[in-house]
Structure 1
Amino acid sequence: MKAVIDKDLCTGCGLCEDTCPEVFEVKDSIATVKVSKIPEDLIESCKQAADDCPVEAITCE
């Protein structure tokens, strides 16, 4: 599984980084994904970050 951030939608609020800092990081007011593949033990927190994103900028695929 991997996470993708729509940079056109992202507001850089940092909620994803707070929820799953091992996967997400906010740089220059835009969230980025720090890993190419989400480790098994972080899949649920990554999905939670996507669900909690206020602008629905994160997808997990």
Structure 2
Amino acid sequence: MRVTADRTVCVGAGLCALTAPAVFDQDDDGIVTVLRSAADGGDGAAAREAGLLCPSGAVRVTDAAG
């Protein structure tokens, strides 16, 4: 599973960090940061949900590793 976040389109809503705190956080400006991919010990189901909830489409979760 590959988890990415486009920080240039993030609006800082924080749904990703609330939904999957093991995978996402926010920096001091409220912009998304990926802590770890779901494959690296994060919660895959929560990461997928965060991707669906993201209002700006900044969070992407795919099954492909590369």
Could you say which TM-score interval applies, normalised by the shorter chain? Answer: 0.7 to 0.9
* Uncovered stretches (5+) of structure 2, i.e. residues with no partner: none
Give the % identical residues.
32
The CA distance in 1 between the partners of 2:2 and 2:33, in whole Å, is: 12
TM-score by length of 1: 0.86
Structure 2 letter corresponding to 1:5: A
1:22 maps to 22
* Uncovered stretches (5+) of structure 1, i.e. residues with no partner: none
Runs of 4+ in 1 over 4 A off after TM superposition: none
TM-score by length of 2: 0.80
How much has 1:58 moved relative to structure 2? 0.7
Over 3 Å counting, the alpha-carbon distance change for 1:54 and 1:41 in structure 2 is same
The CA distance in 1 between the partners of 2:31 and 2:55, in whole Å, is: 14
How much has 1:48 moved relative to structure 2? 0.2
- Where 2:25 maps in the other structure, the secondary structure is strand
1:50 maps to 51
The CA distance in 2 between the partners of 1:41 and 1:9, in whole Å, is: 23
How much has 1:2 moved relative to structure 2? 2.1
